[in-house]
């Protein structure tokens, strides 16, 4: 479900259930485990910050009460500074769930209480799920949940979500609060004297002048949002919204002059606080909110001595530069080897099975049913070559990638990798966590692009996805090794990877400066290692692969039919002819290479196979299997280099369209074509000076 339909999803649940719950919390407190326990659904969970990007909905029954539950995007706060935070906040503000269940980490209570305080400030009925109490005990922390409930004024229920402990008590507390059997107390949320004075002054003005506030917020909550200079609420008062939203809010916010007066008052009060404390009021309020969370946490938790856990020691070694970087290199080499060799073996196995048992029989069946030779061949392009292309990429490489990704997520090692690479990736406008999809793109670009969902803004996802499509996947590696390494030499095959690395660095550096928006620092918690569950890994792999199949299969099949129709009717040659000035004039490649580059959109390793096949059809005979029979070493090098850079395969394009929108997918496609032609043309004229013969 698209994340931006959060409030619509909640409204839909309201119409079908007796009670609606929004499940909130930071990305790694076991929130999705709680959701799974409540609903019985197998939702993907992960020991990695930023995992929950799309929404999950479910329904459960408790003592005859039908309860709808929506799992909000995992986030550390409720502000308008990132897509996931904005989606979570707008979802609850517009959807108005009956209860918000905030899942917190008992082993890091101070950090997690920040969001609880924000929800309480917004005036929502809250139940706190105090999760991971078992791990907290292992590291020497005991939480007095009854005292915590008293200080927050809301029910607090200890849970161990992975084992289902406390889940019945949690849902019981939710129903009791919703039905009025238990009551929330007024939370004791107070800040410094000057901040409280500003909040009170602005809040009183709001109460006097506004009959109705946006989202029916308490006056105090709206005053805090304005003082923090929250982008969404400030834009409301400035009228910078869609026409529909602007008309709706105008009735609540009064005339333009009234709105300007609120903003002026807010700015004046904020200026007074900034002059006194020497920092923006938003930072000051956030600092005091963190301080209040720390005060509450200190009041309810007791520390006692416990031996340092092995998982804590391992975590230390993985983030220390001298040990962490060699370990990360070894892990990434292991990931690449696993995906490449296991995926390659599975790909060959699938190819063999398909050709041996399906392809030949399918060919006979289609030709028997369809008497027209051209139409039969076109159909076979889709139901034979297209499905085989999907199976050869999807089953081997996607499954192996998802198995590895699930293991790294559940173990907690992705945190260490993100921490180590943050400084490097920050120069490209990305967080350290983006290194995972970029590097795993070497196995397959498709799941790597889907992996960019861990990034919090669309700007970061566009930037990371663009870099991912430039990473040589296993199919493009097959072209590099099968063409350049085999017929030109390993040195020049390595040179292609060096050129690719330089391109990725320059493109990332350039896009970081061209794309609107700014890159913020990485804020994440360093969680201990955990031993993954084999059953959970398998479930994750299956559900992720199913999502991939729904997206990629129809696009690959239809794309194969279209390419087959162009090839069988001869129009492909007509399309390739106008490209000869570029293919031959700029890149110095034979005309047959242009057709292969077009067909390579289906699957990149097909470019090499089709190059040989079309050369044989074109009159070179069986000798065309040796590329040097009709191409020079420099032409082989340029061909592989261009194949490595230009448009990713059709499955990748499909996922780009789904994740980023078709406009962005089209722009990335055009960019890679132009980049491939430019780099190929330059290399064709420069590489001979490195000793490669023409």
pLDDT tens profile 408-420: 877 878 778 777 8
45 pLDDT exceeds 50?
A: no
Q: Which region among 13-22, 118-127, 529-538, 603-612 has the lowest average model confidence (pLDDT)?
A: 603-612
319 pLDDT exceeds 90?
A: no
Which has the closest alpha carbon to 119: 34, 30, 24, 208? 24
**Residue 527: pLDDT band with limits 50, 70, 90:** low
Which of the two residues, 67 and 255, has the higher pLDDT score?
A: 67
**Residue 549: pLDDT band with limits 50, 70, 90:** confident
SS3 of residue 532 by DSSP: coil
Give the pLDDT score at 410. 75
Give the pLDDT score at 1. 38
147 pLDDT exceeds 90?
A: yes
Give the pLDDT score at 146. 94
Which has the closest alpha carbon to 444: 427, 468, 479? 468
Give the pLDDT score at 6. 63
48 pLDDT exceeds 50?
A: no
HSE toward the beta carbon, residue 679, CA cutoff 13 A: 27
Mean pLDDT of 426-431: 77
Give the pLDDT score at 403. 83
How confident is the model over 621-647, as pLDDT tens digits? 445 556 777 788 898 899 999 999 988
Mean pLDDT of 316-326: 84
Q: Which region among 253-262, 267-276, 465-474 has the lowest average model confidence (pLDDT)?
A: 253-262
The tokens for 288 are 């005091």
* Residue extents of the structural domains in the chain: 3-178, 193-303
311 pLDDT exceeds 80?
A: no
Percent of the chain exceeding pLDDT 90 equals 19
Give the CATH fold of the 3-178 domain: Rossmann fold (3.40.50)
Q: Where are the alpha helices (DSSP H) in 278-342?
A: 281-300, 310-319, 321-337
Give the pLDDT score at 507. 92
How confident is the model over 501-513, as pLDDT tens digits? 899 989 988 988 8
Give the pLDDT score at 55. 63
In CATH, 193-303 is 1.10.287.1770: yes
Q: Which region among 171-175, 190-194, 290-294, 350-354 has the lowest average model confidence (pLDDT)?
A: 350-354
667 pLDDT exceeds 80?
A: yes
Alpha-carbon distance of 114 to 119, in angstroms, equals: 9
Q: Which region among 432-446, 459-473, 477-491, 506-520 has the lowest average model confidence (pLDDT)?
A: 432-446
Give the pLDDT score at 52. 44
302 pLDDT exceeds 60?
A: yes
Which of the two residues, 655 and 681, has the higher pLDDT score?
A: 681
546 pLDDT exceeds 90?
A: no
Mean pLDDT of 671-687: 92
Give the pLDDT score at 521. 54
Alpha-carbon distance of 664 to 675, in angstroms, equals: 16
54 pLDDT exceeds 60?
A: no
385 pLDDT exceeds 80?
A: no
Give the pairing of strands 301-303 and 141-143. Answer: antiparallel
Give the pLDDT score at 4. 41
255 pLDDT exceeds 60?
A: no
Identify whether the C-beta of residue 200 lies closer than 8 Å to the C-beta of residue 157: no
Residues 6+ apart with CB under 8 A from 637: 484, 488, 492, 495, 496, 683, 687, 692
Alpha-carbon distance of 600 to 645, in angstroms, equals: 12
Q: Which region among 392-406, 458-472, 505-519 has the lowest average model confidence (pLDDT)?
A: 392-406
Is the pTM value of this prediction over 0.85? no
690 pLDDT exceeds 70?
A: yes
Mean pLDDT of 212-241: 83
Which of the two residues, 670 and 85, has the higher pLDDT score?
A: 670
């Amino acid at each position: 479900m698209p994340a931006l339909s959060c409030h619509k999803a909640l409204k839909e649940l309201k119409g079908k259930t007796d009670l609606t719950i929004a499940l909130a919390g930071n990305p790694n407190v076991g929130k999705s485990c709680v959701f799974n326990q409540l609903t019985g659904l197998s939702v993907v969970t992960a020991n990695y910050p930023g995992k929950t990007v799309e929404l999950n909905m479910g329904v459960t029954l408790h003592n005859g009460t039908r309860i709808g539950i929506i799992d909000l995007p995992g986030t550390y706060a409720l502000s308008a500074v990132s897509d996931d935070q904005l989606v979570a906040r707008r979802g609850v503000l517009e959807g108005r769930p009956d209860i918000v269940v905030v899942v917190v980490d008992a082993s890091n209570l101070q950090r997690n209480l920040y969001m609880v305080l924000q929800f309480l400030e917004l005036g929502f009925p809250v139940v706190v799920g105090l999760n991971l109490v078992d791990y907290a005990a292992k590291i020497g922390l005991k939480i007095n949940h009854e005292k915590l409930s008293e200080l927050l004024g809301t029910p607090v229920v200890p849970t161990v979500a992975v084992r289902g402990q406390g889940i019945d008590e949690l849902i019981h507390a939710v129903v009791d609060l919703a039905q009025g059997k238990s009551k929330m107390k007024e939370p004791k949320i107070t800040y410094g004297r000057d901040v409280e004075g500003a909040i009170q002054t602005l809040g009183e003005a709001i109460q006097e002048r506004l009959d109705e506030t946006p989202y029916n917020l308490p006056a105090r909550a709206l005053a805090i949002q304005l003082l923090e200079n929250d982008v969404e609420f400030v834009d409301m008062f400035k009228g910078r919204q869609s026409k529909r939203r602007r008309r709706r809010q105008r009735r609540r916010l009064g005339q333009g002059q009234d709105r300007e007066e609120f903003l002026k008052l807010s700015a004046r009060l904020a200026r007074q606080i900034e002059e006194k404390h020497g920092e923006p009021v938003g930072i000051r309020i956030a600092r005091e909110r963190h301080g209040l969370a720390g005060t509450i946490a200190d009041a309810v938790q007791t520390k006692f001595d416990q031996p340092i856990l092995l998982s804590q020691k391992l975590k230390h070694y993985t983030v220390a530069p001298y040990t962490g970087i060699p370990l990360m290199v070894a892990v990434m080499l292991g990931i690449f080897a696993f995906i490449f060799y296991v995926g390659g073996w599975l790909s060959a196995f699938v190819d063999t099975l398909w050709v041996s048992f399906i392809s030949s029989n399918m060919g006979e069946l289609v030709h028997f049913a369809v008497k027209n030779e051209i139409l039969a061949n076109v159909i076979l392009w889709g139901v034979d070559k297209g499905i085989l292309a999907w199976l050869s990429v999807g089953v081997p490489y996607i499954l192996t990638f998802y198995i590895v990704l699930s293991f790294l997520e559940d173990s907690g090692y992705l945190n260490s990798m993100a921490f180590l690479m943050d400084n490097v990736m920050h120069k490209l406008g990305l967080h350290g966590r983006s290194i995972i999809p970029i590097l795993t793109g070497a196995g397959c670009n498709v799941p790597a692009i889907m992996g960019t969902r861990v990034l919090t803004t669309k700007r970061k996802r566009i930037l990371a996805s663009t870099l991912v499509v430039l990473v040589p996947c296993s199919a493009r590696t097959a072209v590099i090794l099968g063409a350049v390494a085999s017929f030109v030499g390993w040195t020049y095959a390595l040179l292609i990877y060096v050129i690719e690395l330089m391109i990725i660095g320059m493109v990332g550096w350039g896009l970081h400066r061209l794309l609107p928006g700014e890159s913020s620092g990485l804020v994440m918690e360093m969680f201990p290692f955990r031993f993954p569950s084999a059953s959970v890994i398998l479930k994750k792999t299956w559900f992720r692969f199913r999502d991939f199949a729904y997206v990629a299969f129809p696009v690959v099949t239809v794309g194969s039919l279209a390419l087959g129709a162009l090839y069988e009717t001869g129009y492909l040659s007509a399309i390739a002819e106008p490209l000869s000035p570029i293919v031959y004039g700029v890149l110095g490649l034979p005309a047959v290479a242009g057709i292969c580059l077009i067909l390579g959109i289906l699957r990149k390793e097909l470019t090499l196979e089709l190059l040989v096949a079309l050369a044989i059809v074109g009159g070179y005979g069986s000798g065309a299997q040796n590329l040097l029979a009709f191409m020079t070493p420099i032409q082989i090098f340029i061909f592989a280099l261009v194949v490595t850079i230009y448009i990713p395969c059709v499955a990748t394009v499909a996922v780009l369209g789904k994740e980023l929108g078709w406009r962005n997918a089209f722009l990335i496609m055009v960019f890679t074509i132009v980049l491939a032609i430019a780099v190929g043309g330059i290399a064709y004229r420069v590489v001979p000076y490195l000793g490669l013969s023409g």
